[in-house]
A and B are shown apart, each in its own frame.
Chain A
Amino acid sequence: MSSTHNATADAHAGGHDDHHDVSYLKPKGGMMVTIWDWMTTIDHKKIGVMYLFASLFAFFLGGVFALLVRLELFAPDVATLDAAGNPIIQGQIFNPDLYNRFFTLHGAIMVFLFIIPAIPAALGNFCLPLMLGAKDVAFPKLNLTSWYIYVVGAIFSVVAIALGGVDTGWTFYTPYSLDTPEEHWQVTFMTLGVFILGFSSIFTGMNFVVTVHKLRAPGLGWFDMPLFVWAIYATAIIQVLATPVLGVTVLLLALERIFKIGIFDPSLGGDPVLYQHFFWFYSHPAVYIMILPGMGIMSELIGVHSRKKVFGYRAVAFSSLGIAAISFIVWGHHMFTSQDALIGAIFSALTFLVAIPSAIKVINWIATLYKGSIRFNTPMLYGLAFLFTFSIGGLTGLFLGTLSTDMQLHDSYFVVAHFHYVMMGGAAIALFGGIHHWWPKMFGKMYNEPAAMLGCALVFIGFNVTFFTQFFLGTQGMPRRYSTYVQEFTTLHQISTIGSWILLAGFLVHLATFIHSLMAGKQAPPNPWGGLSLEWETASPPIEHNFHHEPVVHYGPYDFDDAVPPFCDPADYPLPDPLPPGEKSH
């Protein structure tokens, strides 16, 4: 090829690049044009941002209902008789039916609209192609489609619950969900909403698996990928393999309600426990859809903000896949009381297996912190908070996985506390750590660090006050899902409710911080944290095509001892002195 030809090609490429050199956030024109551009975009960054706002809105909605649930539980309902002999009920704010709807709304919104899509579809969509050095996900149009499917499914389910009638809890257990009167078409509507949401999840998962396989930048081998990518990959595999089973389950439930096919209906020869098996065959892996991406974020937070190579990289990577694999063989622990003792014992033993890869991760993160240059900022604080709360959540899971103790603890507040420590204390706390970590990249603005740290502290304190008390309530026998309780539990319930208000205060501080950052935040540098993974090699916010040229990878994502981070002053990130010959690093 002649040099002249090369020069022309370069000039052409340069001209092409200039055109797309602008930030992906830059409006394309007037307001209507911009809105249309966002609605029809196939840019993974914009879709990720839209998912982020949608799932944070769902988090807000679900949070409001959680607060209402806690409000009702502030005092027990006490029925007394007045002078004329009429009953007076004190301490009741909402009637029990309304209360049932509130916790159904809380559970369904938080699970299906917030936790499942939040990390993979929002942060995963935004970061995955950037971390791989790709221009987009493998199927950009499918990505936009899955966003619209998510919106349609969300509208379906929220409308269904808002119109009343859905009081089945988020699990829709038969026969309860079948006995709900027929005129309550909202139950059918809600299950169809979940069916639709499932497709969104499947498409996102397919997209991510293919992206990781096919769109890695030159030089980016499987073991050069950031651990967040590994976690998203493992999550995507679960999404692809588990969600269809939920699809057929809720489809059968809807058909059962409309056409009375009898598969789950004992009066027609069916078996309601089959529903529970089907449901948990999806929904237990689904709890790993919720926590695995959070674990991926943790590896980034701990690695980048302590400037240490993540200890045991391969162990952490493979433990993600291990959790994904084990997630498929533990569903029976949700039915300890409805299956025979031998099967129960087998599922109990299998459940313990999950503790191994989870512990590998936690121990490796702690080992990463050891002798690291820890930077105390919001992402790191969230990382440390996760270590506490997730450890409590994970270890109490073993109590529930043990057959004998579960007989005592099942369906009690102990279960409620356990899964909130994993879902909220694990997934949501990791999500907020991740949002702060990638906020400068996503929006090109820094946030107010002290304010965000205050928010983080409030969330951590509020969370523990709310839910740690519930362990005590559970061991003392408080059953879950009741709108009232015996008076002995009043103090603990009131502490828990006050905790929920502290939690609210923490999230309001975060909201204020985010708004302030968007309105008046300092311009973010391309690489504020000195990260080494590829997303820090482009501008903040990234340009429309992510990178000027396809990046070539020369160092691993955590090789902080060997590489000066891109776009950083080498004086800020001095490399360690070379070791004397013959000596090995620790």
Chain B
Amino acid sequence: MTTAPTDMTGDGASQTYWERYRHQPHWRNNDDEYTAAKLGMWLFLTTELLLFSGMFVAYTIYRILHADEFARASHYYLDWRVGAVNTAVLLISSFTVAMAIRNAQLNQQFWLKINLFITIICGLFFLVAKLALEYWPKYQKGEVPGGFFSYPGSHGYVPSDYDPLFLGVYWVATAIHGSHVLIGVLLLGWCLWRAQKRHFGPRHFTSLENVGLFWHLVDLIWIFLFPLLYLVG
């Protein structure tokens, strides 16, 4: 499947984008530009992690204060099987996006596109599962955060005073995470479109790798959210 690089020394007319790619004028060479972009991306990922830190701190404090209520609410409202499937799906997508970057480095254009495509499908699956199996039924039953909470309880389950708070943390944390998944899917789509136009190859894959880094972070956040929210107690 490997396509041999063509015309490495020519005038560029017959070269693909990644072969003729030249850094922006304020950089000394392509390599400086690439490492700088990656450093910038890591800084951005740090800010993302800190954005979620607010949610994690809020969760930790209220879980310590209301440990029993949180454990009970977690068992009752959240189905660990849905969370586990979504976790598996995201882990697979992390693998495929890493493979896609490797494919670009090895100039395996076909597998690059296949792997990106699988990643996007996984991301969409995650979102659809979240909406169809969790958000929508919960919304209908009134299992919504804080002030709008209206779930009366059933089968002997009586909501505690802190159920609305638990659901508040759950909804906000997963919704902020979900919006990141959505942004990630859009970015991956952009990468797929560029891969289609043969923009990525051994000499240039900066944005593909940075989108991959972003996708790994989105996965990582979920890896923490899943046990904290679904597997309490």
Contact = CB atoms under 8 A, between A and B. Distances in A.
Interface centre among A252, A262, A270 (most CB of B within 10 A): A262
A109 to B, nearest CB: 25
B15 to A, nearest CB: 22
Contacts of B26: 134-136, 140, 215
A210 B145 contact: no
Given A138-B36, A138-B40, A241-B46, A263 B58 contact: yes
Nearest to B166: A269
Interface in A270-286: 270-271, 274, 278
Given A136-B26, A262-B145, A244 B58 contact: no
Nearest to B58: A263
A135 B25 contact: yes
B66 A210 contact: no
A260 B25 CA distance: 50
Interface stretch (B49-57, B106-114, B218-226): B49-57
13 contacts: A136-B26, A140-B24, A210-B40, A240-B46, A241-B46, A244-B48, A244-B51, A245-B53, A248-B53, A259-B146, A262-B147, A274-B61, A278-B57
A251 B53 CA distance: 13
Contacts of A261: 145-146, 168-169, 171-172
Interface centre among B32, B40, B61, B144 (most CB of A within 10 A): B40
Contacts, number: 117
B50 A268 contact: no
B105 to A, nearest CB: 22
B62 interface: yes
Given A248-B53, A259-B146, A262-B145, A269 B62 contact: yes
Nearest to A271: B61
Contacts of A135: 25-26
A289 to B, nearest CB: 14
Contacts of B47: 202, 206, 240-241, 243-244
A434 interface: no
Contacts of B147: 259-260, 262, 265, 268
A202 B49 CA distance: 13
Given A248-B51, A278-B54, A262 B165 contact: yes
Contacts of B145: 259-262
A244 B172 contact: no
Given A241-B50, A245-B53, A213 B171 contact: no
A281 to B, nearest CB: 9
Contact of B66 (A136, A215, A255, A269): A269
Interface in B53-98: 53-55, 57-58, 61-62, 66
Contacts of A134: 26
A139 interface: yes
Contacts of B62: 263, 269-270
Chain B interface SS verdict (over half): helix
A249 interface: yes
B178 interface: no
B35 interface: yes
Given A214-B32, A259-B146, A269 B164 contact: yes
B44 interface: yes
Nearest to A136: B26
Interface string A197-235: 000001001110110011100000000000000000000
A247 interface: yes
Interface residues of B, number: 39
Interface of B: 24-26, 32, 35-37, 39-40, 43-44, 46-48, 50-55, 57-58, 61-62, 66, 144-148, 161-162, 164-165, 168-169, 171-172, 176
Interface of A: 134-136, 138-140, 142, 202, 205-207, 209-210, 213-215, 240-241, 243-245, 247-249, 251-252, 255-256, 259-263, 265, 268-271, 274, 278, 545
Contacts of B39: 209-210, 213-214
A247 B53 CA distance: 11
Given A259-B144, A268-B164, A269-B161, 13 more contacts: A142-B40, A244-B47, A248-B51, A251-B176, A261-B145, A262-B168, A263-B165, A265-B147, A268-B165, A269-B162, A269-B165, A274-B58, A278-B54
A243 B171 CA distance: 23
Contacts of A240: 43, 46-47
Contacts of B25: 135, 545
A241 B50 CA distance: 7
Nearest to A243: B47
A269 B36 CA distance: 45
B43 A209 contact: yes
The 4 closest A-B pairs by CB, nearest first: A260-B147, A262-B146, A248-B54, A261-B168
Contact of B172 (A247, A263, A269, A545): A263
Contacts of A247: 51
Contacts of B54: 245, 248-249, 252, 278
A23 B35 CA distance: 31
A274 B56 CA distance: 13
A244 B50 contact: yes
